[in-house]
Structure 1
Amino acid sequence: MSSNLESLQVEIQKLPFQERAILIQNLISDLDNSEDTDSEELWIREAERRYQQWKEGKIQSKPASAVFREALVKFR
């Protein structure tokens, strides 16, 4: 990791939670709108891999409500 990136990361971690969340949302949106089709293909393959694991009983799922509840507890 470059020193510029490291110092930027330190500054970002000083931001309040809500501001970091907005920054993350904006960065993800920027990546979603990029011309990088490789990342889209990688996400599709990852989703297919996880779905296959689920179908084979190798991983379990949980309701979205439980996932969101756990995330709220973790990030409060």
Structure 2
Amino acid sequence: MLSGIMASVEQVMKEALALPSAARALLAEKLVESLEFDVDETLQTLWTDEAKKRRDEVRSGAIEPIPGEEALARVRQILEQ
């Protein structure tokens, strides 16, 4: 059964890759959207709570945000060590 599914996936992939780039982009977008709704509710709640906590820390002044470019530069520096 699994080999039949894989063969179907291979065929769909082959056909999708033959599409013009705009059609492939639309297909990719729709595939990603279809996965976004398959979310673990517990995990989603945890991420939402964490985002709200961080937002509140920034608003209260408990932490000072830094620009994304600076954060990436710091991460790169750490990784190079």
Counterpart for residue 50 of structure 1:
54
Residue 36 of structure 1 deviates from its aligned partner by 2.0
Please, which runs of 5 or more residues in structure 1 have no aligned partner?
1-31
Counterpart for residue 71 of structure 1:
75
Q: State the identity %.
A: 20
Counterpart for residue 20 of structure 1:
none
**Cα distance between partner residues in 1 of 2:45 and 2:70:** 28
TM-score by length of 1: 0.52
Q: Which has the higher helix share?
A: 2
Residue type of the partner of 1:70? R
Aligned length, in residue pairs: 45
TM-score by length of 2: 0.49
Q: Which aligned segments of 4 or more residues in structure 1 are displaced greater than 4 angstroms?
A: 32-35
Larger-gyration structure (1/2): 2
Q: In angstroms, what is the RMSD of aligned CA positions?
A: 1.9
